[in-house]
């Protein structure tokens, strides 16, 4: 595994990193105000903001027409806290408004591109257990976006860290390549695509696709919109080095903190709701593989 450390400005954090220990800091406050106070730069922001017009009982939310403009108020604080090769992963889903899909999610991502972010790729979180129900014009909603944005066209990526086993087919298929299989083969339909099976001989791992299969979280963590730990974990592996710094500026129940600690990354979890900060602190302390991690509370 590559071991590039996040650019760390504060001497406390340097001591922390050098000692081999990591920290998880939970901050209660508005992330637009808290991020500029942080004297470190991060490798990754991974987060799921409040969805438009959802969970009004639980926390602030805005009309879909206003969502993109609201998200843009976070653009500078997010951009400024990341190191030059850093990434921002935005997990989000649009809503049905007046019978059709509102496109505030697309407006948001296009707006971020206009604000100097590169849109590196669109990942899909495929929910293996979507909510049951009946909708006259739609089927069960089984996926959400994870947009990978970055400050540079070539952000830090450790693709080795997310590779998956190539699968048993190779032993049979590649054992004795003959004829067309033993040379480059261009597509029959003249699409310009081609393949050369010889490139796969001896390989045991391949890149996964940009569709991430994970079930919805069934457990009650004192928060209404928890994402599965596997979601931030996937992007932390791909987009941060060991000992790096991950920030979740809409931290909720602290899922990103758990994923970061378990993967030996430092983390800062920010939420403007004190109850959620307390719940996140308790949950992380109980569930994460702390192993010497320093837990820090701020503002609650
Ligand atoms: C969708 S939830 C995140 C859930 C989280 N991914 C988890 O797994 O628990 C969004 C969170 O953003 C918080 N929030 C809303 N506006 C905020 C702001 N301006 N600054 C910080 N947190 C905010 C809400 O309190 C809510 O807990």
Residue 246: its pLDDT value, please? 98
Residue 171: its pLDDT value, please? 63
Residue 187: its pLDDT value, please? 65
Residue 224: its pLDDT value, please? 78
- Taking the CA of residue 249 as reference, the ligand 1 atom at the shortest distance is 21
Ligand 1 neighbour 59 (Cβ under 6 A): yes
Query: Would residue 69 be called left, alpha or beta, if left means φ above 0 and alpha means ψ between -120 and 50 degrees?
Result: alpha
Q: Where are the domains of the chain?
A: 11-163+208-298, 167-206
Structure confidence by residue, pLDDT tens digits, 55-65: 555 556 688 99
Ligand 1 neighbour 228 (Cβ under 6 A): no
Phi, psi of 226, rounded to the nearest 5 degrees: -85, 130
- Taking the CA of residue 226 as reference, the ligand 1 atom at the shortest distance is 8
Structure confidence by residue, pLDDT tens digits, 29-48: 999 999 999 999 999 999 99
Residue 206 tokens read as 């391949």
| Helix-, strand-, coil-residue percentages of the chain, each rounded to 5 | 30, 25, 45
Tell me the average pLDDT across 47-72: 80
Ligand 1 neighbour 229 (Cβ under 6 A): no
Residue 192: its pLDDT value, please? 67
More confident residue, 106 or 226: 106
Q: Kindly report whether the global pTM for this prediction surpasses the value 0.95.
A: no
Q: What is the DSSP letter of 244?
A: -
Q: Shortest CA distance to 13 belongs to which of 199, 268, 183? A: 268
Ligand 1 neighbour 223 (Cβ under 6 A): yes
Look-up: residue for tokens 């600690």?
261
- Confidence class for position 12, pLDDT limits 50, 70, 90: very low
Tell me the average pLDDT across 15-31: 80
- Confidence class for position 9, pLDDT limits 50, 70, 90: very low
Q: Cα(60)–Cα(203) distance, rounded to whole angstroms?
A: 50
Residue 11: its pLDDT value, please? 44
CATH code for the domain defined by 11-163+208-298? 3.40.50.150
Query: Would residue 52 be called left, alpha or beta, if left means φ above 0 and alpha means ψ between -120 and 50 degrees?
Result: beta
Residue 179 has pLDDT above 90, yes or no: no
């Amino acid at each position: 595994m590559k071991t590039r450390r996040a650019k760390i400005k504060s001497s406390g954090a340097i001591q922390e990193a050098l000692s081999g220990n990591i920290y998880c800091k939970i901050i209660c406050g508005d992330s637009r105000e808290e991020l500029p106070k942080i004297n470190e730069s991060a490798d990754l922001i991974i987060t799921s903001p409040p969805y438009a017009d959802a969970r009004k009982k639980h926390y602030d939310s805005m009309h879909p027409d206003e969502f993109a403009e609201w998200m843009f108020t976070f653009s500078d604080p997010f951009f400024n806290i990341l190191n030059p090769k850093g990434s921002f992963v935005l997990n989000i889903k649009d809503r049905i408004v007046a019978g059709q899909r509102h496109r505030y999610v697309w407006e948001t991502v296009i707006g971020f591109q206009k604000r100097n972010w590169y849109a590196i790729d669109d990942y899909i979180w495929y929910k293996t257990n979507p909510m049951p129900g009946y909708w006259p014009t739609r089927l069960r909603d089984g996926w959400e976006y994870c947009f990978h944005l970055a400050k540079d066209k070539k952000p830090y990526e450790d693709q080795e860290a997310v590779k998956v086993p190539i699968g048993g087919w190779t032993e049979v298929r590649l054992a004795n390549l003959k004829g067309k299989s033993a040379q480059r083969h261009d597509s029959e339909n003249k699409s310009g695509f081609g393949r050369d099976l010889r490139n796969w001989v001896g390989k045991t791992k391949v890149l996964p696709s940009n569709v991430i299969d994970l079930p919805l979280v069934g457990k009650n963590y004192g928060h209404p919109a928890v994402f599965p730990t596997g979601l931030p974990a996937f992007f932390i592996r791909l987009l941060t080095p060991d000992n790096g710094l991950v920030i979740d500026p809409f931290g909720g129940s602290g899922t990103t903190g758990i994923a970061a600690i378990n993967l030996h990354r430092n983390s800062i979890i920010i939420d403007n709701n004190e109850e959620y900060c307390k719940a996140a602190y308790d949950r992380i302390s109980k569930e994460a593989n702390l192993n010497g991690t320093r837990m820090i509370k701020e503002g609650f």
